[in-house]
């Protein structure tokens, strides 16, 4: 099926439109994927802010209850019975907890009391003693009051016990441990850089309820200090990082807490300027439920957020780019193939026209010779008959050689040629080839010069095909020399190869056509006239034969000065049979 140039251009146009549309769709999908990742990241940040406020409110409530409970007790001294309620600063001494309820802000040994059931916290190990069998429950909370785990919940006999605390819970900013038995309850608070604080409760339910009533009454009357006095920067950083990680955000961040954009920050953790952190889109009002407290706003900046989002869509981008490149490469290959096929079709048509002309001439000659023989009367000299028969034989040989060359090229391309390799005398090979074209060269007033080195004197190859290589190169040199032809043939050894060069003083080959001279059916623009008539098969045949012997062929040319063809062949057998 033959397509017109208009049809081919239409197909190419449709392919270009389809390719452009595909690239646009890929771009849109990548843009939407990036936007989705950005929205998910922003949602994760603000979800973390909500969790941060929840944790901060819990911590604030726990701390307020703890402090107000301590302040609500009257001063106590001496060892107290076990059925009393106490909120204390304490330390472990021997078999009881020594605790203080200070009246003047100082801790002294004179106003300490003891608690039944000694407990202690040393080197991340919680130790306790039971004077009688009890049901024991030990729970662990973070500083915001969030239950982390139940460490012990079982019945214990009388004796001393030690409970190692989970390492991952004791390396943060702090924690609470609640210790409960049938007859008492205590809470120890451990905060980084501060001593332990204890809340010890024992007695009847009515006594505990009375204490709780006092604590909440004191909590309502006590003023709430500002944010920066209740929370340290390290604690806020720790809780903020934990909430970020729980929402899948592992990026480094910087933060600052301030009353307004104009006021200096009351808390910050940043290596950049505070203004850069404040200009971030990620900010939240801290503890929004507190009404009569100075407001504080948290600003968070993620320095590597853009790169992080790009990395998230990198797999989709890489896959899309890969597929797009493949499609573009296939499209380019299709364009190149169409162009080559169109050029090949033109050359093939030209080849058929030339072949028809080449066959038409000898056929016409044969027809005329046959008619002349038929018109000969009997008794005419037999010399004329022999002359006509000689013309027929020559034209037949001419046609046979043309057909044979086409068949040989087809066989070489398919790899089915049977090379009859033997030792070939290179000097004799060159001499025979030169002899075949010497007469035509002399007729045009030219000359052929041979420079053959003594080594190597023999190579392995198919003599017939090797001689045809030289004949094709010499024929081209003679054919395309517009002036008096001067042809130089040189042969020499180069490492383990034999090199033969054929140089002429012809018209030369333009650089844009130089790389195509070995293509089948190809003929340069100046080779299509009647004077330089040919099939465009000679140099293709040279290349195929050289490669079949394990060698190569190269060309150098200067327009207006001449062309040099160089054939390199191995001295020993290294080709394909």
Q: Which DSSP string do the residues of 379-406 spell out, in sequence order?
A: TS-HHHHHHHHHHHHHHHHHHHHHHHHH
- Model's pTM, two decimal places? 0.43
Domain CATH number, residue 173: 2.60.40
Q: Using 50, 70 and 90 to split pLDDT, how confident is the model at 122? A: low
For 516-535, write each residue's pLDDT tens digit: 888 876 776 655 454 545 55
Same domain, 354 and 371: yes
Domain extent at residue 165:
72-203
Domain boundary among 351, 381, 416: 416
In a domain, 33, yes or no: no
Residues 197, 66 contacting (CB under 8 angstroms): yes
Q: Which residues does 329 contact at the CB level (< 8 Å), separation at least 6?
A: none
Q: Residue 404 sits in a domain of what CATH number?
A: 1.10.287.130
> Between β-strands 159-164 and 96-100, what pairing exists: parallel, antiparallel or unpaired?
unpaired
The rounded distance, in Å, linking the Cα atoms of 261 and 281 is 13
- Please check whether residue 97 is in contact with residue 114, taking contact to mean a CB–CB distance below 8 angstroms: yes
User: Using one digit for the tens of pLDDT, what is the confidence trace for 380-405?
Assistant: 566 777 777 777 777 777 677 667 76
| Residues 331, 369: Cα–Cα separation, whole Å | 57
Residues with Cβ < 8 Å from 376, sequence gap 6 or more?
384, 385
236 plus 165 within the same structural domain: no
Element at 488 (helix H, strand E): strand 486-494
Angle, helices 538-548 vs 382-414, to 10°: value is: 60
Q: Are 444 and 470 in the same domain?
A: yes
Q: Tell me: the pLDDT tens digits for 146-204?
A: 666 777 778 888 888 888 887 766 666 677 788 888 766 777 777 666 666 655 554 44
Whether residue 551 has pLDDT greater than 90: yes
pLDDT digits (tens, 9 = 90+) for 240-296: 999 999 998 888 999 999 988 778 888 988 877 888 888 888 999 998 877 778 889
Q: Looking at residue 349, what is its pLDDT?
A: 66
Res 408 pLDDT > 70:
no
Q: What pLDDT, on the 0 to 100 scale, is given for residue 552?
A: 93
Q: Does some domain include residue 348?
A: yes
239 with 334, same domain: the answer is no
> Does 577 fall in a domain?
no
Q: Is residue 9 part of a domain?
A: no
Q: Give me the number of domains the chain comprises.
A: 4
What is the distance, to the nearest Å, from the Cα of residue 228 to the centroid of all Cα atoms in its chain?
47
Q: By CB neighbour count within 10 A (0-12 exposed, 13-18 middle, 19+ buried), where does 31 fall?
A: exposed
Separation of alpha carbons 302 and 255, rounded Å: 9
| 279 and 347 in a common domain | no
Residue 558 and residue 430 share a domain: yes
Residue 570 or 272, more confident: 570
**Residues whose CB falls within 8 Å of the CB of residue 149, separated by 6 or more in sequence, listed in order:** 139, 140, 166, 169
State the number of CA atoms in the 13 A half-sphere of 203 facing the CB: 17
Clarify whether residues 160 and 286 are in a common domain: no
Q: Could you tell me if residue 66 is inside a domain?
A: no
Q: Is residue 284 part of a domain?
A: yes
The answer on pLDDT for 351 being more than 50 is yes
The last residue of a domain, from among 416, 432, 448? 416
Same domain for 444 and 383: no
List Cβ neighbours of 483 (8 Å cut-off, separation of 6 or more): 505
Q: Give the domain-ending residue among 373, 399, 416.
A: 416
Over residues 198-235, the pLDDT tens digits come to 555 544 455 555 555 555 555 455 667 888 888 888 88
SS3 state of residue 21:
helix
According to DSSP, the residues that pair with 115 across neighbouring strands are 97
Q: Which residue has the tokens 């950005």?
A: 38
CATH number at residue 481: 3.30.565.10
In a domain, 49, yes or no: no
298 lies in the same domain as 325:
no
487 belongs to a structural domain: yes
Question: Are residues 409 and 423 both part of a single domain?
Answer: no
| Contact (CB, 8 A) for 355 and 402 | yes
How many beta carbons lie within 10 A of that of residue 180, not counting itself? Answer: 18
424 and 566 housed in the same domain: yes
399 and 338, same structural domain? yes
* 490-507 pLDDT per residue, tens: 999 988 899 999 999 888
């Amino acid at each position: 099926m033959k397509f017109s140039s208009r049809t081919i251009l239409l197909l190419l146009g449709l392919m270009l439109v389809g390719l452009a549309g595909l690239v646009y769709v890929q771009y849109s999908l990548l843009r939407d994927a990036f936007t989705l990742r950005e929205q998910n990241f922003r949602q994760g940040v603000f979800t973390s802010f909500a969790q941060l406020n929840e944790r901060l409110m819990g911590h604030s409530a726990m701390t307020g209850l703890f402090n107000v409970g301590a302040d609500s007790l009257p001063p106590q001294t001496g060892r107290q019975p076990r059925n009393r309620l106490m909120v204390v600063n304490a330390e472990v001494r021997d078999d009881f907890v020594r605790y203080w309820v200070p009246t003047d802000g100082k801790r002294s040994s004179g106003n300490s009391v003891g608690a039944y059931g000694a407990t202690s916290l040393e080197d991340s190990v919680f130790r306790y003693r039971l004077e009688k069998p009890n049901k024991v429950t030990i729970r662990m909370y973070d500083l915001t009051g969030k239950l982390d785990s139940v460490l012990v919940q079982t019945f214990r006999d009388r004796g001393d016990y030690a409970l190692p605390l989970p390492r991952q819970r004791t390396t943060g900013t702090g924690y609470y441990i609640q210790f409960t038995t049938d007859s008492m309850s205590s809470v120890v608070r451990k905060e980084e850089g501060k001593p332990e604080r204890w809340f010890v409760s024992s007695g009847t339910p009515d006594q505990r309820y009375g204490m709780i009533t006092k604590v909440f009454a004191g909590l309502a009357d006590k003023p709430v200090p500002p944010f920066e006095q209740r929370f340290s920067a390290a604690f806020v950083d720790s809780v903020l990082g934990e909430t970020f990680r729980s929402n899948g955000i592992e990026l480094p961040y910087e933060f600052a807490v301030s009353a307004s954009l104009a006021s200096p920050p009351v808390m910050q953790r940043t290596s950049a300027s505070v203004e850069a952190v404040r200009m971030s889109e990620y900010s939240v009002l801290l503890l929004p439920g507190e009404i009569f407290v100075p407001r504080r706003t948290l600003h968070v900046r993620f320095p590597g957020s853009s790169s992080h989002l790009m990395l998230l869509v990198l797999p989709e981008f890489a896959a899309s780019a890969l597929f797009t490149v493949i499609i573009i490469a296939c499209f380019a290959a299709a364009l190149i193939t169409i162009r080559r096929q169109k050029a090949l079709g033109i050359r093939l048509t030209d080849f058929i026209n030339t072949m028809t002309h080449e066959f038409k001439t000898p056929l016409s000659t044969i027809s005329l010779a046959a008619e002349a023989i038929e018109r000969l009367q009997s008794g005419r000299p037999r010399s004329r008959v022999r002359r006509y028969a000689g013309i027929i034989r020559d034209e037949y040989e001419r046609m046979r050689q043309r057909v044979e060359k086409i068949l040989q090229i087809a066989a070489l391309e398919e790899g089915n040629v049977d090379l009859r390799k033997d030792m070939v005398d290179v000097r004799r090979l060159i001499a025979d080839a030169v002899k075949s074209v010497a007469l035509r060269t002399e007729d045009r007033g030219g000359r052929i010069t041979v420079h053959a080195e003594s080594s190597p004197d023999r190579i392995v190859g198919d003599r017939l095909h090797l001689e045809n290589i030289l004949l094709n190169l010499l024929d081209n040199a003679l054919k395309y020399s517009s002036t008096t032809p001067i042809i130089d043939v040189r042969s020499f050894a180069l490492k383990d190869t034999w090199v033969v060069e054929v140089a002429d003083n012809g018209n030369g080959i333009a650089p844009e056509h130089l790389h195509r001279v070995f293509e089948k059916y190809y003929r340069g623009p100046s080779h299509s006239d009647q004077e330089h008539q040919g099939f465009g098969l000679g140099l293709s045949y040279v290349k195929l034969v050289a490669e079949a012997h394990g060698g190569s062929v190269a060309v150098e040319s200067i327009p207006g000065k001449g062309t040099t063809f160089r054939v390199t062949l191995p001295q020993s057998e290294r080709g394909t049979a």
